[in-house]
Amino acid sequence: MAVMSSCRPALCVTEEEEPPGRSPTLGMLDFGAGSGILPAAEETPLVDFRPARRPRGSGRARAFRRAFFPDVRDSEWNDWRWQIRNRIQSLDALERILSLSDEERDILAHGGGMLPFGLTPYYASLVYTALPGHPLRRSVVPTMHELVRSPGEADDPLGEDGHSPVPGLVHRYPDRVLLLVTGFCSTYCRYCTRSRVVGHGHTGPDDAHLAAALDYIRRTPRIRDVLVSGGDPLTLSDERLEWLLGQLRQIPHVEIVRLGTKVPTVLPQRVTPQLCRMLRRYHPLFMSLHFIHPDECTPETTEACTRLADAGIPLGSQTVLLRGVNDDVEVMKELMHRLLLMRVRPYYLYQCDPISGSSHFRTPVSKGLEIIQGLRGHTSGYAVPSFVIDAPGGGGKIPLQPDYVVGREGDDLLLRNYEGRIFRYPDPLD
């Protein structure tokens, strides 16, 4: 993807505040082992990763703040720019939060894999003191497994680069496009499908490339739906985002705009009342939010989703099926229920893309079918996402369903219901 070398500083928070190569830190505080702030490993309470139905993560989050940011005021902690500036990005910083396994330490000690490492203090507070198998920890802390390349894996398995009429724009389906507006994320998911383009010091396409992408949309009247993604588009400043939405809204054939983001999950502080006031001027605007586990549904994230929903933005979720994270009917059902409580409608469940170094995250396809079968009929239809495989090679999303058609008997179609009982539907062949 394109390099965002000329991103205007006044409009681009990430470049302004994150000069390339700057060594990231846990901030200005000294909380090293000798400081008395860092709890000794033995004293660190290890919290079960599936506690009862109390508000998720809150005790852990409070302990994290007490330990690492005791003097940071709420106004700073709740400021999304502070969260971005103080991301955890180094082995040193991470070692202070978690006791690392050899597999985790070794990859960072060797300079990491393809995708950079980084997470917000907020998301770090959700994994503080967690054990290596903790689902959220697995999703953001790299391991040596990322360096293992398995058969069938590729850096660009979806063939996005081959469907790019201009850099930063993927035109795969007839009436809609994917517009990649930044390569930056506040927190990097280890299973990222776009590891090849995100987080390499570029914050997105430069103005010339973005102008070329907008121009392509302008002169392609069959495009009625623009999906803005990245990187994470909500890491752009309000001004930059508003400029982009304004450009898209000036194109008469663009009917809907969608934003694909994980910000409400990893940086909920970004969803300010001002942002929501701005977004609501660009309706019809939809959002696809990325969630992988019920522990992500915290009070902060709930507030962010509530603000977005109150701004009239229909919220859908996208979840990647991940081994050891959410490959379980009960975990997935709880996630879907919590999403609905936050007014987010489950949209897609993705089979994990065969991105290079992803084999430790991938499950058999049958696991996804088992999960859908465990949801459909057993809970609200609104809680059941579509299970899809994004076809390697660029075929687009292909839906998969458990097989509910058992066969035929004469003029009857034989159908299996959610309980496994067989029913007949009269369906004469003519």
**Residue number with CB closer to ligand PLP (171 or 209):** 171
Residue of 7, 12, 189, 276 marked catalytic: 189
Count the neighbouring beta carbons within 10 Å of the beta carbon of residue 53. Answer: 8
- Within positions 10 to 29, which residues make up the interface with ligand PLP, using CB under 6 A? none
Residue of 128, 262, 353, 367 marked catalytic: 353
Residue of 176, 196, 270, 307 marked catalytic: 176
Count the neighbouring beta carbons within 10 Å of the beta carbon of residue 111. Answer: 7
**Least distance (Å) between residue 228 CB and ligand PLP:** 11
Instruction: Work out which of 173, 243, 404, 418 binds ligand PLP, going by CB under 6 A.
Output: 173
CA distance linking residue 307 with residue 315, whole number of Å: 11
Q: Does 192 qualify as catalytic in the annotation?
A: yes
Q: Does 172 qualify as catalytic in the annotation?
A: yes
> Residue 286: which H helix or E strand, with range?
strand 285-290
Number of residues interacting with ligand PLP: please give it, by CB under 6 A. Answer: 7
Report if residue 134 touches ligand PLP, rule: CB under 6 A: no
Using alpha carbons, list the distances in angstroms from residue 54 to 39, 51, 68, 138, 274: 24, 7, 24, 22, 30
Closest CA to 90 of 126, 64, 125, 116: 116
**Least distance (Å) between residue 152 CB and ligand PLP:** 19
Residue keyed to tokens 């893309």: 353
**Residue number with CB closer to ligand PLP (200 or 397):** 397
Report if residue 176 touches ligand PLP, rule: CB under 6 A: yes
Measured in residues, the chain has a length of 430
Q: Does 367 qualify as catalytic in the annotation?
A: no
**Residue number with CB closer to ligand PLP (60 or 172):** 172
Q: Does 238 qualify as catalytic in the annotation?
A: no
CA distance linking residue 399 with residue 67, whole number of Å: 46
Q: Does 353 qualify as catalytic in the annotation?
A: yes
**Residue number with CB closer to ligand PLP (57 or 314):** 314
CA distance linking residue 304 with residue 273, whole number of Å: 9
- State the number of CA atoms in the 13 A half-sphere of 316 facing the CB: 15
Strand 412-416 relative to strand 422-426, pairing: antiparallel
Q: Does 189 qualify as catalytic in the annotation?
A: yes
Report if residue 349 touches ligand PLP, rule: CB under 6 A: no
Instruction: Work out which of 56, 96, 137, 172 binds ligand PLP, going by CB under 6 A.
Output: 172
Report if residue 397 touches ligand PLP, rule: CB under 6 A: yes
**Least distance (Å) between residue 386 CB and ligand PLP:** 8
**Least distance (Å) between residue 370 CB and ligand PLP:** 23
Instruction: Work out which of 94, 124, 180, 227 binds ligand PLP, going by CB under 6 A.
Output: 227
- 262 CB contacts (<8 Å, ≥6 apart)? 185, 187, 189, 232, 289, 290
**Least distance (Å) between residue 166 CB and ligand PLP:** 14
Q: Are 189 and 232 in contact (CB under 8 A)?
A: no
Contact window for ligand PLP (CB under 6 A) among 20-28, 30-38, 131-139, 165-173? 165-173
* Cβ density class 140-175: b for 16+ within 10 Å, e for less: bbbbbbbeeeeeebeebbbbbeebbebbbbbbbeee
- Within positions 233 to 262, which residues make up the interface with ligand PLP, using CB under 6 A? none
Contact window for ligand PLP (CB under 6 A) among 87-95, 172-180, 300-308, 332-340? 172-180
Q: Does 345 qualify as catalytic in the annotation?
A: no
Residue of 7, 12, 185, 305 marked catalytic: 185
Report if residue 209 touches ligand PLP, rule: CB under 6 A: no
Report if residue 138 touches ligand PLP, rule: CB under 6 A: no
Q: Does 185 qualify as catalytic in the annotation?
A: yes
Q: Does 87 qualify as catalytic in the annotation?
A: no
- 184 CB contacts (<8 Å, ≥6 apart)? 14, 18, 198, 199, 202, 203, 204, 230, 231, 232, 235
Q: Does 56 qualify as catalytic in the annotation?
A: no
Cis bond before residue 284 (omega within 30° of 0) = yes
Contact window for ligand PLP (CB under 6 A) among 44-52, 117-125, 173-181, 361-369? 173-181
Report if residue 170 touches ligand PLP, rule: CB under 6 A: yes
CA distance linking residue 230 with residue 234, whole number of Å: 9
At 158, the amino acid letter reads L
Residues that bind ligand PLP (CB under 6 A): 170, 172-173, 176, 178, 227, 397
Indicate which residues carry an active-site annotation.
Answer: 172-173, 176, 185, 189, 192, 194, 353, 390, 397
